[in-house]
Structure formats: structure tokens, C-alpha cells
Structure 1
Amino acid sequence: MWKSHNKVDVVSQKDDCFQDLIEECKGLPPGSKLSYSLRSRLEKFSLAVRKEIVNRVKIGNAPLFIACKKGQLEIVEYLVNSCGADIEQGGCYEVPDDSFIHRSVHSVTPLWCAAVSGKLPVVQFLVDHGANLNAVSDSGSTPVRSACFMTHLEIVQYLVEKGADINRPNYNGGTCLINSVQSAQLCSFLLKHGADVNARDIQNKTALHYAIQEHRIETTALLLEHGANYNVKSKYGDDALQTACLKGAVPIFDYLISHIWYSNERLANAHELLGSTFLDEHNDLYSAIKHWKIAQTIRETPQGIIPKLPIMQPREAFRYQREFSTMEELENLMADLDSIRIQSLLIAERILGPNHKDNVFRLMFRGASYADMMCYQRCIDLWRRALEVRVEKDSILYSDTCFTAQALVRFMVDYNEKHIPSDDTESTYIQRFEDSVATYRILTNEIGDMRQLLNVRPQYQRQLDNFDKILKCITHLIYLMLQTAKTQEQCQLVVDLVTKLIQINPRCATTDETLLHLCVSKLNTIRSGYFSDEQPVIIFPEKQVIQFLLNLGANPNATNDSKSTPLHVATMPHNVNNWLVPLLLEYGAHIDLPNVAGTCPVDRVNVEPFNLDIRILNFISLKCLCVKTMTKYKIPYRYQLPKTLELFVHAHNSSRC
């Protein structure tokens, strides 16, 4: 009994020591020692027990990790030398807001933690005691790379002197040099010690790209002096000059064109793109016109005008405008701000290419600007062009595509419902039929192929969710097409388009719901980041759309992954509606089909909150009654009936019905 009590007491003492150790490491300032009483209590234990205590973890961190982060050198020395702390034991380092763009938590070693925290004495102690110089974090980053990002020059110098690998990238390909572009002094040190000036990361960017992005002209010049390749293109096709144009880095732009030879065509393109950036990013009309005039002056040579290549076909989204080709045309445009904005978009699409991320961003931004000015048709034209580009470049499964589709369709639905006065040519904005059809075609063109791709493993939840959001957009577009179709030809076109879609029968990737399931649900709404402050317009359940789908052959008894039919969904409390259930029953929906939970619509239609007073027997066939009898008396039916009847019985078969 005494031995048992003594054992419990020892465990309690160890726990108390660990808790006090954690608290002192957290609370003591740099340069402090552990309290005498705590050290005395620890030293009463054997070295093996002390080691077990100090290597315990609380909230992801051991005491040594905390001491390294705070720069408590004497505590670090005590934990390692007197207690046998593991100098490679990882911990969780939370990146502070003022040093990284986004707050994040990384699993790192004590040396990595001390290096990023700028604690040189702790770094020196850990290295002297055998810490792995090139141990990586969960993102593949080494201690020297983290010190580079924080511009801790002395720590970088020490780690390099001790043999740290400065060319080892993280998992995204980022090197020490890429991490150091904010400091020309640090870059100079790395280059002198063998840093690869043209190393590329996962985006195919070099340190030169990042120096230009951050407007670091001193670092840019240094990298070029050490052989940086200014022709290297990122995965978006941006070399050094184009990056400077996109970022509006005028001093770097001037440095590049004064130190590097570029053809006249390239210089003209660069000035045009820089002018476009000033207009779109900074709303600086004066600088935009200035650079466009410089570009046009370069193009108008004694041998003739240098053409703008590639030649772009006029687009509806740009009101079929073409780029100015003479100085006179540019002068004439200066009185029309709207035309100047379109010119900027034309320039960006020609030089960057339609699929460039900056081109799509400018389309979305300019469209939003038009919406703020109540020029709704202009917004729809540009956003539809952005959607078209995203689908061509990626597919409807990508988040950016889904985001654009939701913004566009939500915008069209909102203003179709509200008929808000507009500054367009019409006094009131009215949704156009051709806009709904064009958007519908974009989203449904490869809908069947995309749904099949989602069946291939591994499956990614984000793509599954995006597909479902696109299907919701499509149901709203069907509604808009029916609302805006005025002529017989337009009505027939809607019939043809939706009939084809019903034959494909696309289903939600996460719930296996059909278009009809979506259209009978009040939960079928579109949310978009562009409209975060507004409540979505509720369209469904919508009688015209539901009846239209049923007339075209949509199956009223199709089941989702929980074996619920559209009638099950229609009889959910949030979908209370006097006409919906009778409509589905009229088109052959089975009122007695059970879902996985054994629930039948028949159980809901004549009770609160519906109280529809439906005569159940009018919608239960003799076959249904036979199935109930077979189920009740457990009459075997497999291989005893024709296949079609067997499937019918199986669908109705439930212990509930």
C-alpha cells in the first residue's frame, strides 16, 4: 500500500514540475534563469526522469521549444546540458501577422524557431550541440531560409559559415535568395556564397520576378549584375519587363529599358501595358495616356507603323471596339472615358493573352465598377467574357470559375427580379434573353464530361462542391431563359437546350440530386463573394421551371443518395407550398416511395404544416398496394417477377411502407 502511494506521489511531482517548467518558460523574459526551487526539484530526479519531463509536450510545444523562441539562452543551456532535452524535438511556430501576409502555424525544429525569431546566441548554442542545420519544417523550409525571410543577416551568415545549404528550396521551390529580395545586402551575401541566381519556384519565378513585384530596384539591379536571366517567364508568361509593367514599378521599368535592349515592338507593348496598369489599378488616367502616347510614337516609324500583334477579333464584351492605331485616334478617344477603359482591356488581352490571370482580374474588376455605376449590361458583358475565359482555361470544376459563374448568375437574377433603373441606354435594366442563353451554353457545354471526371479517384471535395454550385447556377439560368424568352424561336431554343441537358442527366456530385430535386427546394440559392452583404434572391420552388422540366421528361421519381425523390424534398417543412406537391403527383410522382430512413411523402402531405387535403388513394396504384401487402407478409419476389416489376417492388420495399 505504501509503495503504491509513493508511486502516485512521484507521478504527481513529475507533473507539477512539468507544469511549472512550462509556465516559467512562457513567463520569464530573455536572459532569465529557471527559478532555484524548480531546478532543485528537477535535480532530485535522475537524468532519465528529467529527460522524460522536459521532453513532454503541451499544446504542441516542449519547454525547450518555448525557450528557443523567446531567446532564453540560459534556460536552453540548462534544459539541454542538465536535463537531456531533445534539440530536434519539433514544435508549432505561429507566424506573427506583422511578418507574413497570412497568419499560419508550422511544425518546425527548435533551431528553425530560434532562427526565424532572430535569437543568434540560441542558434549558436544549438548548432554547437549538433542541431541539424538543414532540418526542414512541414513546408520544407530550412532554418537558414526562414532567417532569410525575416532578414536576420547575422544568423544567415552564421548558418552559412557552419555549412547550411542556401540552395535547398522549400516544397514550393522557394530558395533563400527568393526569400531575401527585400534586402539587397542579404542577397549580395548569398550570391557571393553560391546562391543560384536563376533558381525557379513552383510558379517558374526567379528571385528577379519577386524583386520586381516588391518594387526593390536595388535588389533588381544587383540580381541583373550577377547574371539573372531577365527573359525567364513565369507560368503566366511574365518576364522581367512584363512583371514591371503589371506591377506599375516605374523606376524598375525605366532601369530595364535603359540597361537592356528591347525591340521597338516590345517597347511599345510595354508602354501600352504599363499605361493600362495605371488606369486599371490606380485610376491614373494621366499616366495611362502618357505611356500610350509614348508607345504610339515608337510605333510610328519612318518605315511605317509597327502593327499591334496578335490581331484580335472584335468582341461583344468590348462593344466591338478596336485598339487605336494612330495618334489621331488616341487623341479622339481622350474625350470618352468609357472608350478609354475599353481600350485598356483590349491592350491587356492582346499583350497578356486571354487566359492570363491579370487579364481575367481586370475584366472582373471593370465589370464590378460598371455595376457600381448602374451600367448593368456592361458588367454582364465583361463578367461573361471572364467566365468564358476561365472555362476555356480550366473548367467548371475550378474554384475561380465557380466564383465567376456565381457572381454573374447571381447578378443577372438579382436585377431581373428588381428591374432597377440603369444608366444604360434603357431607362430600366431588363435581363436579356441572349445573355442567359450564352451563359447557359458556357456552363453546360461539357457538363456531362465533367460529371464523369468527378467519378475518377482520388476525388477532391472542393471540385465536388464546385460542380454542385454550377448546377445551381444552371437551374437559375433555366429560370432566366424562361422569363426572358419572348418569341416562338426563343422558346423553342430553350426547349432544345434543356431537353439535351435532361438527357445528359447531370446530378449533384455530393448528394446525387437531379435538376428537379434542386428546383423544388427553397435551399437552391446562389451565394457570391461579390454580394456578401446581401441576402440571396429566393427563386425556387418555381412552378414554371418545375413544370417545364417535367414536360421535357425529367423523372419525378429519381432518387438522390438518401433515396429521396423530388416529392420527398417538396414535402420538407421549409418547402411548404400549396401547388408543388399536387403538381409532382400530377406528373406521376409516387407518394408512397420510402427513402433510406423509411419516410414516405404520404406521411407528410396531410399534416402540419402542409394540410393539403390530398386524397391519398387517388395516387396509390394497385401495384403499390400489392407491394405493401408483399412487404407486410414478407412474400418473396426476387426472380419471381419480370425485371421491371422487380425493380418497382424493390423501390417501394421498406419496413416502413
Structure 2
Amino acid sequence: MWEEGGSSSGGTSGGAAKAFLDMAKHDAVFNELMQECRHSAPGARLSAKLRTALERMSPRERRVLCDRKRDGCAPLFVACKRGNVEIVEYLVHVCDADIEQRGVYEVPDDRSVHTVTPLWCAAVSGRLEVLRALADAGADVNAGSDSGSTPVRSACFMTHLDVVRFLVARGADIHRPNHNGGTCLINSVQSVRLCAYLLEHGAEVNARDTQLKTVLHYAIQEQRVETVRLLLEHGADPALASRAGDDALRTACLKGAAQVVSLLAGRVRYPAARMADAYELLGSTLLDEFNDVTAALAAWRRATAIRHGGAGGPGGGYVAKRPVRAPCPALGGAREWRSLAELEAAATDMDALRTQSLLVVARVLSPDHKDTVFRLMYRGASYADAFRYQRCIDLWSWALQIRIAKDSLLSTDTCHTACALTRLMLDAHGGRLERGRGLPSFSDVLKIFNLLADDLPECQRLLEARPVFKSQADTFDRALRCVTHLVYLLHERASTRGERAAAAAAVTGLVRADVRSAHTRDTLLHLCVSRLNVIRSTYFADELDVTVSTARAAGVPALVAEPSRPS
């Protein structure tokens, strides 16, 4: 019995040892295989030693070994990326490697990472011979990436025309978009030849993505004039508008594409009012985005000539600017120029030109257009850099008002605006801004407080629905922290009995709404006394750490104390 037991124990030990040796051997072979796949020159074969080791394994062992991954990639995937067609054919036909096994591909241009098949990797890398070997072995030419992009669509992005031709010949679907609706044609705007090839093979020229943009929008955005001309010749509709309401002409103006504006004006019969708006918007872009005063004034002079009956306007009659908007307090009540003389009078005053630019954008695009808000924020930051903090506060307050009305405080952009504005006011009050003495005014602080406080209760109600989107909960808490700092500023900047009464009334109203933080359910009073209550703004470099409950703000807790229980 002891001998039998000893024999059994020895057999188990021997089997474990053999398994360990086999595992070590497989590890060594796999390491050598990955090394050669990564570093062999294009056209090289695997070494004789490695091929011998692989061919001594059973077919199942070879396949299992070739399915192993390192850094998210199997040997076949690495060989495809490197373009080693000899190694690819060996792994596919001798080792029976899985030709659909996905690996991790990092796009060199934007460093984005995608999970894709070996054929997709070969297509993007421009490895035509590898592509042919995989297709001959039966690989799926329409296997998409994790973002839904097919090999042919991604090859279009890389402008591999020979790869695109091969894939189309093998049955690749050039009409299939990715998850965002992006088509092969949209990915090809950088190449007139590639666009022409796709159009010849039936690509839909007016297909739209999830932003409702067509290929014409993207060609204009990149100022590809010849591509735009080709698309128009093949029936691209310049009247189709994106989700933001931008058609081809407006997109060209927003991108400063003067050549495209001229091309569209020559092909489409736009009304005089539309062309005047276009040249005014183009001039605004040339001034704001390219800092080209000469080109901006030239565009504005042309628009003025159109409005007064020249350059295509109706004979003699003035084309009024529509819609007519009331003077904006944030811009000092300024109005747009009407005559050429008024424009020339402003031409020597850069600040006046910047103001005119904002007036044009707000009228032509509407105040709630994303480009309008962006330019308000950018111009406000420029004023802050020039120590003109009140102008910055005025513009950012307007931008905050627009964003709250359009997107609510749960929007990340809205919260960023609130944080930047609160941070600026805290810096001004704390004496950390050069030439910021006397700021912020009590009226500005109260205005911003009311903007945030009026929207917080409704946002809190929206967050009661489950599940809660974490990003929106985080944004809500950041906005609530801004409010607590504004409470501190209300207390500090109130200098008269009336101002103190207005501050108390505003804060009491918010306290009665019982607004609490989304994550920890902290009240306003908890946040005011917390040392963790800080403002972080992406518009400024360093972090501000201001505790609301300081000795100087001893009166603040009284303003935010919990309301009495009803009797």
C-alpha cells in the first residue's frame, strides 16, 4: 500500500513538473515570437529555430500560443501593424492564428486608442500586401472598430487610396458610418482624388452624421476649397444646416474661409441681406480668430456696400440689419455701425472694433449660439489680461446668463463659466488682481448669485431621478460651492443697509429651498464652514483655496442658518 501511495505521489509530482516545464517552454517561445514580430524587418521570416519550436507543438498548442496577448496585442496583430507579410502568412496558415482576434491600436496623430481586428490595423497602417493576405484567408473586410469605424473608413482618414481601392474591390461597404454617423466621404475631405473615387462608386454626398453635418460642412471647416468645388458639382446641398443651425455659408464665415464664401456666392443665389450678414460674420471671424484687421475691415466694407445697394444689393434701397436687438448693457449699450462713415470712424479704435465684432456675432448667430458664447468668454479673458476686469465681469455674466437659460447649471460649460466668474470676483476682492481695486461691485455679485440660486432648486429636482449621471451631480456640487463663496462676497461687499437687506433676502430664499449637495447631502451651512470648500476654475492656472467661514465673515452663518420649523 505504501509503495502504491508512493508511486501515486511520484506520478502527480512528475506530472506537475512536466506541466511546469511545458508552461515555461511555451512562455519562452511566446516571448521569442513577440520579439521577432516586433523587430523583424519587413519581408523577413521567423527564425528557423523559432519555426522549429512552433512546428514541434500540436496544432492546438500553436493556436493557443498565437492567441496570447501582450500589451493588448497578439503576435498576428503586431505582425500586421509592422507589415511583415511573410510572418502574417506563417501565423495564419501554419499556426492557425485567429484572423479576427482584436488588439489595441493607438492612432499616431491623436493618440486615441481603439480595439480593432488585424485587417483594420493593416488597412490603417497602409500595409496592402498584409491586407491582401488576410482577405485571401477570409478576414472580414467590414469588421468595425469599437467606435464602429470600418477598415475602409479608417483607411480613408489616413488617405490610403490604394488600400481603399483594394477593400472596395473585395466588397467593403463605403456607405456604413461609425457610431457618430461619420462616413467614408467625410473622412476623405483632405483628398480630392479620394473623394472623387468614392463619389464615382456611389457615396451619398448629403449623408449626415449625428451633428447633422454633411461632408460639405467638414470640407469647409478644413478650408478644402477644391473638395468643396467637387462636392458642389456632385450635388452637395449647401442649404442643409447642422444641429447648431449652420449651413454651408455660415460655416465658411465661422471658419474664416473667404475663398469658400466667394465660391458659394458665385454658385448660389443668396438674398442681399444674407450676403451682407455673411460678410459681416466673416469679418468678425477674421478679426477675432485670425487678428487680421485689414481683412476684417475689407469684409465689413463689402457688407456695408451690399446693404447700401452696391455689390449685388437691391437698387438704391438700404438692407436693414435683422433682427433688431436692444442695446446690450454688457457691451456698454453700443450699436452696430450703419454707414461706411461710422465704420471708418471705428476702424482706428481696436476696442470699438472688438465690440462691433461681438454685436455682429450676437445678431447674426443669436446670443445662444455656441460660437457667440465662446467669443464672449474669450473676449472677457482678453479684457482680464489687459486689467479691464469690469468688462470681463460684464461679458462673462452675459455668457453665464445665456448658458443657464440654454443648458441649465447641470451643463459642464455652464459650471465652468460660473467657477471662472466666481474665482475672478474672489481674486478681485482679495486684492490678488493688479488694478482690481473696488471690484467686484455688490450689484454684480448679487446678479450672479441670483442667476445661480434661481436655477439650483430645479436642478436639484432633476437630480432626484435615478440613475444619476455622475458628471451632472459633480457639476451641481461645484455650482453649489460657487454659491457659498458668493454668499461670502455678498456679506463683504454690502456697504449700505439696503444692500445688506437685499443680500439677506436673496440668501434666505435659497436656504428655504433646502438645496443640498448631490453627493454628501451637505446644506449651505455645512459647505460654508467646510475647509474643503474650494473653487477650481479651468480659466485660471493655479488653484484658489478660500474657506468661506473665516473670522472676517462672522456674519455669514447667520445668513445661511437653517429656517425655523413651522409652528
Per the normalisation by structure 1, the TM-score is: 0.81
For the pair 1:349 / 2:362, whether they are aligned, the reply is: yes
Inter-partner Cα distance in structure 2 for 1:274 and 1:4: 77
Inter-partner Cα distance in structure 1 for 2:27 and 2:434: 71
Inter-partner Cα distance in structure 2 for 1:430 and 1:62: 62
What residue number does 1:314 align with?
Answer: 327
What residue number does 1:202 align with?
Answer: 210
Deviation at 1:430, TM superposition (A): 2.4
What residue number does 1:66 align with?
Answer: 78
Inter-partner Cα distance in structure 2 for 1:131 and 1:551: 70
Inter-partner Cα distance in structure 1 for 2:429 and 2:338: 39
The residue type equivalent to 1:21 in the other structure is L
Inter-partner Cα distance in structure 2 for 1:394 and 1:523: 28
Deviation at 1:537, TM superposition (A): 5.0
For the pair 1:415 / 2:428, whether they are aligned, the reply is: yes
CA offsets per residue over residues 249-287 of structure 1, 9 Å max, x none? Answer: 112121111222111001100100000011111122221
Inter-partner Cα distance in structure 2 for 1:149 and 1:420: 47
The residue type equivalent to 2:413 in the other structure is D
What residue number does 2:476 align with?
Answer: 467
Q: Is the 8 A contact 1:414 1:537 kept in 2?
A: no
Q: Is the 8 A contact 2:156 2:188 kept in 1?
A: yes
Deviation at 1:19, TM superposition (A): 1.6
For the pair 1:479 / 2:488, whether they are aligned, the reply is: yes
Q: Is the 8 A contact 1:519 1:542 kept in 2?
A: no
Inter-partner Cα distance in structure 2 for 1:546 and 1:121: 76
Aligned-partner SS, 1:107: strand
For the pair 1:496 / 2:514, whether they are aligned, the reply is: no
Given the alignment, which residue of 26, 32, 50 partners 2:62?
Answer: 50
Matching of residues 286-305 of structure 1 within 5 Å: 286-301=294-309, 302-305=315-318
Inter-partner Cα distance in structure 2 for 1:193 and 1:147: 16
Deviation at 1:535, TM superposition (A): 4.0
Q: Is the 8 A contact 2:529 2:547 kept in 1?
A: no
Matching of residues 368-447 of structure 1 within 5 Å: 368-418=381-431, 420=433, 422=435, 428-447=437-456
Given the alignment, which residue of 180, 203, 225 partners 2:188?
Answer: 180
Q: Is the 8 A contact 1:204 1:234 kept in 2?
A: yes
Q: Is the 8 A contact 2:427 2:433 kept in 1?
A: no
Deviation at 1:495, TM superposition (A): 1.1
For the pair 1:138 / 2:151, whether they are aligned, the reply is: no
Change (3 A) 1:136 1:20: same
How many residues are paired up? 548
Deviation at 1:553, TM superposition (A): 3.5
Aligned-residue RMSD, C-alpha: 1.7
Aligned-partner SS, 1:522: coil
For the pair 1:519 / 2:528, whether they are aligned, the reply is: yes
What residue number does 2:312 align with?
Answer: none
Deviation at 1:303, TM superposition (A): 4.1
Given the alignment, which residue of 183, 190, 201 partners 1:193?
Answer: 201
Aligned-partner SS, 1:397: coil
Deviation at 1:357, TM superposition (A): 1.2
Deviation at 1:216, TM superposition (A): 0.5
Aligned-partner SS, 2:105: strand
Inter-partner Cα distance in structure 1 for 2:457 and 2:443: 23
Inter-partner Cα distance in structure 2 for 1:375 and 1:58: 56
CA offsets per residue over residues 601-627 of structure 1, 9 Å max, x none? Answer: xxxxxxxxxxxxxxxxxxxxxxxxxxx
Inter-partner Cα distance in structure 2 for 1:252 and 1:552: 57
Given the alignment, which residue of 272, 284, 288 partners 1:280?
Answer: 288
Structure 1 window deviating more from structure 2 (389-398 vs 543-552): it is 543-552
Given the alignment, which residue of 334, 345, 364 partners 2:347?
Answer: 334
Inter-partner Cα distance in structure 2 for 1:251 and 1:126: 44
What residue number does 1:33 align with?
Answer: 45
Inter-partner Cα distance in structure 1 for 2:21 and 2:434: 80
Inter-partner Cα distance in structure 2 for 1:471 and 1:238: 34
Deviation at 1:6, TM superposition (A): 2.8
Given the alignment, which residue of 253, 257, 272 partners 1:264?
Answer: 272
Q: Is the 8 A contact 1:241 1:270 kept in 2?
A: yes
Q: Is the 8 A contact 2:376 2:399 kept in 1?
A: yes
Deviation at 1:329, TM superposition (A): 1.9
CA offsets per residue over residues 310-369 of structure 1, 9 Å max, x none? Answer: 111111111111111222222222233222211100000111111111111110111011
CA offsets per residue over residues 518-561 of structure 1, 9 Å max, x none? Answer: 111222121111211x34152422346564333553279x9xxx
Inter-partner Cα distance in structure 2 for 1:129 and 1:446: 61
Deviation at 1:429, TM superposition (A): 4.1
Aligned-partner SS, 1:30: coil
What residue number does 1:458 align with?
Answer: 467
Deviation at 1:419, TM superposition (A): 6.9
Inter-partner Cα distance in structure 1 for 2:206 and 2:355: 37
Q: Is the 8 A contact 2:511 2:563 kept in 1?
A: no
The residue type equivalent to 2:95 in the other structure is C
The residue type equivalent to 1:531 in the other structure is F
What residue number does 1:111 align with?
Answer: 119
CA offsets per residue over residues 64-84 of structure 1, 9 Å max, x none? Answer: 011011111000000010010
Deviation at 1:496, TM superposition (A): 1.0
Aligned-partner SS, 1:93: strand
Aligned-partner SS, 1:130: coil
CA offsets per residue over residues 183-241 of structure 1, 9 Å max, x none? Answer: 01000000000111011111111111111111111111011110001011111111111
What residue number does 2:101 align with?
Answer: 89
Structure 1 window deviating more from structure 2 (47-56 vs 330-339): it is 330-339
Deviation at 1:295, TM superposition (A): 0.5
Q: Is the 8 A contact 1:413 1:537 kept in 2?
A: no
Aligned-partner SS, 1:266: helix
Inter-partner Cα distance in structure 2 for 1:16 and 1:463: 50
Inter-partner Cα distance in structure 2 for 1:419 and 1:48: 71
Q: Is the 8 A contact 1:211 1:219 kept in 2?
A: yes
Deviation at 1:437, TM superposition (A): 0.9
Inter-partner Cα distance in structure 2 for 1:469 and 1:216: 42
The residue type equivalent to 2:190 in the other structure is Q
Per the normalisation by structure 2, the TM-score is: 0.94
Q: Is the 8 A contact 1:519 1:546 kept in 2?
A: no
The residue type equivalent to 1:519 in the other structure is C
Higher RCO by CA contacts (8 Å cutoff, separation 6 or greater) = 2
Inter-partner Cα distance in structure 2 for 1:83 and 1:419: 69
CA offsets per residue over residues 77-103 of structure 1, 9 Å max, x none? Answer: 00010010000000000111xx3xx31
The residue type equivalent to 2:255 in the other structure is K
Aligned-partner SS, 1:92: strand
Change (3 A) 1:344 1:21: same
What residue number does 1:153 align with?
Answer: 161
Any stretches of 5+ residues in structure 2 without a counterpart?
A: 1-10, 310-314
Q: Is the 8 A contact 1:376 1:429 kept in 2?
A: no
The residue type equivalent to 1:106 in the other structure is H
What residue number does 2:7 align with?
Answer: none
Inter-partner Cα distance in structure 1 for 2:560 and 2:414: 29
Percent identical among aligned pairs is 50
Matching of residues 535-554 of structure 1 within 5 Å: 535-536=543-544, 538-543=546-551, 545=553, 547-550=555-558, 553-554=561-562
The residue type equivalent to 2:366 in the other structure is G
Q: Is the 8 A contact 1:419 1:429 kept in 2?
A: no
Q: Is the 8 A contact 1:519 1:545 kept in 2?
A: no
